[in-house]
Amino acid sequence: MMPEELLHRPAIGVGGILTAASAVLAVLLVLNQLLNLQFFVGFVLIDPRYLYALATLILPVTFLAFPAGAGARPGGVPWYDAMLAFLTFAVGAWLSFSAARALEEGWEYAAPSHAIWASAVFIVLILEALRRAGGLLIALIVLAVALYPVVAAQMPGPIRGLAQPLPDAIAFHILSAESAFGIPMRAFGEIVVGFIVFGVALNHTGGGKFFNDVAFALVGRVRGGAAQVGVISSALQGSISGSVISNVISSGVVTIPAMKRTGFSSEYAGAVEAVASTGAVLMPPVMGSTAFVMASFLGKPYAEIALAAAVPGLLFYFGLMVQVDAYAARRRLAGLARRELPRLGATLAEGWQYIFVFVVLVYFMLNERQEAIAPFIATGLLLAINQAVPRHRMDRQRFLEFLTALGRELASLVAVLTGIGFIVGSFAMTGLSGTLVNDLVYLAGDRPVVLLVMGAITSFIFGMGMTVTACYIFLAIVLVPPLVKAGLDPLAVHLFVMYWGMISFITPPVALAAFAAAPIAKTGFFRIGMQSMRLGTIIYIVPFVFVLNPALVLHGTWQEIVLALAPAFAGVFAVASALQGYLIGAGPMQATPAGVLARALLLAGGLVLLFPTGTEVLAWWPRDPVLRHAVDLVGVVLGAVSFGLLRLDRSAAVL
């Protein structure tokens, strides 16, 4: 069975044309709203009407592009899917035209019967769209939580809330600004659409090949170069696409065979691609679409989110690259031959447009603070340059494929965001979001670390059944408030739950990234998943480090930030080296008593260096800055002893 994200109909026939038309109309609608182009003379698109209209254009595509199940006929659109698409459009159009009246008459609290029936039909359609785009598990979770307000008064203490009659709950979910068409959909309509357009355009204009070629030219010849290429190219692509699985497939078809050809085992090659693609969604400048939802929750500019995420992302990729290098050194794996590699100068000369477009994108995002408009400007430039350069010029068929791929991406995300909005609405209806915060804080007592561990486990469990964005939204509502109330930095906490929500992509039994890499690597996904856990060890540790030491998300004075950065990178280096059994300058850690002891000391020293010495929330940790950072010296000493033992052990082996 394939992950649901990989199941879609080909871009052919009437279904493909309607999918492409939906994408075009949705983009025009978003541009009209963002730039006030006044396409609709004398007709004001207030927020509810705008979001209804956007869903009306995009949501029907779910039934045109995604089959009802894995056994469904893969060709044209069957009659029942066409009927569901038409019904979704009709109900959505009615909601759009009735939006002003619904707002004036307060339908979210006192809706007429026909509005309740229309809302009920729309809920069913959204849940089916969510099942097709996100999977059965997330659809069942959303359905259960959406119905929770009806039985809230009968639930046990911690999750008891104010009950609502079923008709009132149905109306609130669709007609209010706090449920299906609340924060998640507002973030989509205001910011996310542009970045989806840019990511799809980049992949359809040769951007994926350019990233791979740049990575091959930069590091292809170094020790273990094929694997380092996988790390770099996946980081570059995944940050923009925001999709772990599509990143594994698009990058892995090139990098995994290259890794295997140079001596990496099948499971290790698949794990490198899976881990690198998972971490890419956490890496600025784009970070997929989740970072923009985070910006909406926090009420902060996206630039601040991206800047804060930079150090944790770099720590993760630094650890991954150290592990890959140590693995290659231990097994004496060489890089690729020069004749197999593209030349950097020629690659940059052919793909200069991608660099130029990225500069424009980042300039408008960070300097002009135009997060919503920046991706549209960058996409326009990219398409214009692409048509002017013969190498990747799109003909009519390729342009249609681009538009249908865009329609599928938009439809998939709208299905997930409107569905997950039901969870937001249920919490708002019953008042559970406030009481749950107090209950969780009470259970953890005055122990933020206990609350963090509870949060990590919860994030991991929900990450198994949800997409990255859906998982983050759920956790931002349920888990972030108690963590912030415990005294932790709000931005660091949001990044913490995002990180832990991603971990299920490389952790069995789910490990969807490993699942996607398995057919390319030609080995079992469970073997790749187990290797991915070892390679991705840093991703399990880093969230605890930066949430307890906000200097690592660049919150603090420059002295605090500098004092936090050096031990963190040194600690990651030590832990990564110990995990792979090789230390640069000292050599491999053999299975001798001295080698085993050196490995243990190096691992302990790395963890000591990673300990968040800048924390303010641990009551037992000393407040004096000198005492706080004295622990770093312990880590340095342990690392130095480990280095000395390895050198002695190596000398003894030679003698």
Can you give the pLDDT at residue 6? 44
Distance CA 400, CA 116 (A): 38
> For residue 3, is pLDDT > 50?
no
pLDDT band with cut points at 50, 70 and 90 for residue 286: low
Helix pair 266-280, 302-330: axis angle to 10 deg: 170
Can you give the pLDDT at residue 7? 58
With tokens 């909601």, the residue in question is 95
- Region 358-366: mean pLDDT is 83
Can you give the pLDDT at residue 12? 60
**What are φ and ψ of residue 587, in 5° steps?**
100, -170
Tokens of 249: 């497939």
Q: Which class for 35: exposed (0-12), middle (13-18), buried (19 or more C-beta within 10 A)?
A: exposed
Helices marked H in 466-592:
468-478, 480-485, 490-502, 512-521, 525-535, 537-548, 558-580
Q: Which of 42-56, 270-284, 488-502, 618-632 has the lowest mean pLDDT?
A: 618-632
Q: Residue 321: which H helix or E strand, with range?
A: helix 302-330
Can you give the pLDDT at residue 639? 87
With tokens 């214009």, the residue in question is 384
Q: How far is CA 58 from CA 89, 125, 138, 343, 437, in A?
A: 9, 13, 20, 42, 35
Can you give the pLDDT at residue 266? 92
Q: Which of 53-62, 297-306, 553-562 has the lowest mean pLDDT?
A: 297-306
Closest CA to 536 of 282, 311, 292, 328: 282
> For residue 109, is pLDDT > 50?
yes
- Region 615-636: mean pLDDT is 73
pLDDT band with cut points at 50, 70 and 90 for residue 242: low
Beta bridge partners of 583: 587
Beta bridge partners of 587: 583
Q: Which of 26-35, 121-130, 246-255 has the lowest mean pLDDT?
A: 246-255
pLDDT band with cut points at 50, 70 and 90 for residue 278: confident
Q: Is 39 helix (H, G, I), strand (E, B) or coil?
A: coil
For CA atoms 77, 82, 88, 93, give the dihedral sign: positive
Distance CA 86, CA 626 (A): 68
DSSP 6: G
Q: Secondary structure of the chain: what % helix, strand, coil (to 5)? A: 75, 0, 25
Highest mean pLDDT among 7-16, 579-588, 610-619, 644-653: 579-588
Is the pTM of the predicted complex or chain greater than 0.85? Answer: no
With tokens 């000395």, the residue in question is 644
Can you give the pLDDT at residue 4? 42
Can you give the pLDDT at residue 425? 87
Q: Is 109 helix (H, G, I), strand (E, B) or coil?
A: coil
pLDDT band with cut points at 50, 70 and 90 for residue 116: very high
Q: How far is CA 84 from CA 92, 122, 278, 284, 493, in A?
A: 12, 11, 34, 38, 40
Tokens of 133: 């785009």
- As a whole number, the mean pLDDT across the chain is 84
pLDDT band with cut points at 50, 70 and 90 for residue 106: confident
- Region 541-563: mean pLDDT is 88
Tokens of 267: 């499971």
With tokens 């959406």, the residue in question is 146
Q: How many CB atoms lie under 10 A from the CB of residue 473?
A: 29
- Region 117-134: mean pLDDT is 93
